[in-house]
Amino acid sequence: MNMYIYGYGQPGSERYILVDVGVAFPDMESSPGANLIFPDSKWISERKDRLDAIFITHAHEDHIGALGHLYCDLEAPIFARKFTAHIARLKMEEHGRDINAISIVEPITQKVSIRDFKVSFIPISHSIPESSALVIDSPIGRIIHSGDFKLDSKPGVGDPFNKKVWSNIGPVKALVCDSTNVLNNEAGKSEESVSKPIKELMERCSGMVVATTFASNIARVRTLAESGVLSGRSVVLLGAAINRMISAGLETGVIKRFPKTVNPEEALDIPRENLLLIVTGSQGERRAASAQLSRGKFKGFSLKSGDVFLFSSKTIPGNEVSVSRITNKLSEKGVDVVDESMGNYHVSGHANGPDLEQFHKLVKPEVVIPMHGEHRMLREHCKLASKNNIKNILAPNGSIVSFSGEDVRVSDFVETGRIYQDGSIYYGALDGIMRDRINMALNGLVTISLLIDENDDPLEDIWCEIRGLFEVGSSAIHLSELLEDNISNLLKFWDKNILLDDDKIEEIVRRSVKKTCLEEIGKKPEVTVVILRLS
Ligand SMILES: [Zn+2]
Ligand SMILES: [Zn+2]
């Protein structure tokens, strides 16, 4: 979930521009049940009267996904290239925001002047059309914000990596640079290299081929479709995201051609060995087409022995379990699952270690500031710069890097974090709700209700409800009965000092329940105490 801020001015009255407004996706381990995760934009929204512009480098969800959700906290003009602006408009419309806030910027030639900043978009190769680096000129010098990129001279769709442009970029104060693939020690491969292996795989398969990739990787979706046609197959696009992205590509002119496709109903009359389905759900998303096909029928299609399912994608760390659930379900049907480990069926959209080194050498920045990666990757990227005697700064989330004074350095930290969208509500990690949910999931929940009458005397009827725990423990008595009896016995000894104090009652009950449960079932559950006073 990317969000970067550049500022210039006297301390306390700096003016800001913001780069990217992305999302992250929830997982069962850290954010069960959340819909989406946003960067906490509190710091900038508290200063939004000094926020002059928002720039979006490209249309991947981790860079654009939160635009519609967070726009009311930002409210500044948005600048992006045509294809990205098209996706931005969809995001804004979805949330009822004013799409006139978005301006389309021509790459290279157009400079957007925002007070002390002049910003231009430089095309750079990645795995989505029109990905761009930003050249940010400021009174302290030129900053390059790389965006996500790779060095690919034949990316299929979108702009090839242009060495000349980067070696003539002029004096660069700082390169703020993608770190995603820094740990990979081999030079990256071109998008072009996957097309032959994919075509050969489709020719070899005697049954139906189903292929999945990231919907936004329009180049790959087109390569898959073209390979399908070349191997004598009719092509069906299954899943809303893929259809949306191909339409966006054609509408904005980033692709001029796409092979003819057939709709799912027509395809049911075509022999399966002449079919290619291109489907959503390369990350194992439960409701996407790939997961539905692995479970059974989807839109009339079902898979069987002799069919091939191709993952022309990389499993993003954290999604391994969901993906393997699908691959095993497919395997049970006799389907051969093929992924990137079995041939050159996928290339990454990010620069590997040697590519980053080459990029540093082309741009020749005074300082490299790694971004877009886990802490370990940022550090490794710093080491790579150090190896070539380029100054570098490790700036993890929340760092403020200062260019004032003698030396570039991390001068301060601001509080950053995650905002969860959970149903129709937004809240932060510090609100403790997600922590509660995780604790309930891990430990189970016991609710104890007790009644206190008009005279502040407790009634003996205690009511206990148990959720998510085995109900009979070591003493072979029903756990809820045991807890009810224990507390009934306890409250006989309570004096007014306790009975008038809800906090004390809660504390005593909670401790007693945890102790009993630990003895009975070896677990300390979450405990909720409900006190009903009849007075
Ligand atoms: Zn990214
Ligand atoms: Zn990206």
Q: For residue 322, how far is its CA from the centre of ligand 2 (angstroms)?
A: 22
Q: Does the model's pTM come out above 0.75?
A: yes
Q: For residue 474, how far is its CA from the centre of ligand 2 (angstroms)?
A: 54
Q: Pull the structure tokens for residue 130.
A: 């029109």
pLDDT attached to residue 429: 85
Q: Pull the structure tokens for residue 47.
A: 């200063």
Q: For residue 133, how far is its CA from the centre of ligand 2 (angstroms)?
A: 11
Q: Which ligand is nearest to the CA of 2?
A: 1
Q: For residue 158, how far is its CA from the centre of ligand 2 (angstroms)?
A: 13
Let me know: does 224 contact 213? Beta carbons within 8 Å.
yes
CA atoms within 13 A on the CB side of 96: 0
Q: Which ligand is nearest to the CA of 19?
A: 1
Let me know: does 146 contact 169? Beta carbons within 8 Å.
no
Q: Which ligand is nearest to the CA of 216?
A: 2
CA atoms within 13 A on the CB side of 475: 12
- How deeply is 185 buried, as exposed, middle or buried, from its count of CB atoms within 10 A (0-12, 13-18, 19+)? exposed
pLDDT attached to residue 219: 96
Q: For residue 465, how far is its CA from the centre of ligand 1 (angstroms)?
A: 46
Q: Which residues are found with C-beta within 5 Å of the ion, ligand 2? A: 60, 148
Q: Pull the structure tokens for residue 16.
A: 């800001």
- How deeply is 441 buried, as exposed, middle or buried, from its count of CB atoms within 10 A (0-12, 13-18, 19+)? middle
Q: For residue 2, how far is its CA from the centre of ligand 1 (angstroms)?
A: 7
Q: Which residues are found with C-beta within 5 Å of the ion, ligand 1? A: 62, 148
Q: For residue 181, how far is its CA from the centre of ligand 1 (angstroms)?
A: 11
pLDDT attached to residue 6: 98
Distance (Å, rounded) from C-alpha 223 to C-alpha 201? 13
pLDDT attached to residue 535: 77
pLDDT attached to residue 430: 85
Q: Which ligand is nearest to the CA of 372?
A: 1
Per-position pLDDT tens, the chain of length 535: 999 999 999 999 999 999 999 999 998 888 999 999 999 999 999 999 999 999 999 999 999 999 999 999 999 999 999 999 999 999 999 999 999 999 999 999 999 999 999 999 999 999 999 999 999 999 999 999 999 999 999 999 988 999 999 999 999 999 999 999 999 999 999 999 999 999 999 999 999 999 999 999 999 999 999 999 999 999 999 999 999 999 999 999 999 999 999 999 999 999 999 999 999 999 999 889 999 999 999 999 999 999 999 999 999 888 999 999 999 999 999 999 999 999 999 999 999 999 999 999 999 999 999 999 999 999 999 999 999 999 999 999 999 999 998 889 999 999 999 999 999 999 998 899 999 999 999 999 999 999 999 999 999 889 999 999 999 999 999 999 999 999 999 999 999 999 999 999 999 999 999 999 999 999 999 999 999 999 7
Q: For residue 176, how far is its CA from the centre of ligand 1 (angstroms)?
A: 13
Q: For residue 30, how far is its CA from the centre of ligand 2 (angstroms)?
A: 23
Q: Which ligand is nearest to the CA of 125?
A: 2
Q: For residue 177, how far is its CA from the centre of ligand 2 (angstroms)?
A: 13
Distance (Å, rounded) from C-alpha 509 to C-alpha 448? 8
- Phi, psi angles (nearest 5°) of residue 121: -95, 125
pLDDT in tens, 45-89: 999 999 999 999 999 999 999 999 999 999 999 999 999 999 999
Q: For residue 372, how far is its CA from the centre of ligand 1 (angstroms)?
A: 7
Q: For residue 320, how far is its CA from the centre of ligand 2 (angstroms)?
A: 20
pLDDT in tens, 335-394: 999 999 999 999 999 999 999 999 999 999 999 999 999 999 999 999 999 999 999 999
pLDDT attached to residue 59: 97
Q: For residue 148, how far is its CA from the centre of ligand 2 (angstroms)?
A: 5
Distance (Å, rounded) from C-alpha 112 to C-alpha 288? 39
Q: Which ligand is nearest to the CA of 58?
A: 2
> CB atoms < 10 A from the CB of 531, how many?
15
Q: For residue 443, how far is its CA from the centre of ligand 1 (angstroms)?
A: 35
pLDDT attached to residue 317: 84
DSSP 53-101: EEE-----HHHHTTHHHHHHHH---EEE-HHHHHHHHHHHHHTT--GGG
Q: For residue 517, how far is its CA from the centre of ligand 2 (angstroms)?
A: 49
pLDDT attached to residue 23: 97
Q: For residue 147, how far is its CA from the centre of ligand 1 (angstroms)?
A: 8
Q: Pull the structure tokens for residue 158.
A: 């979108």
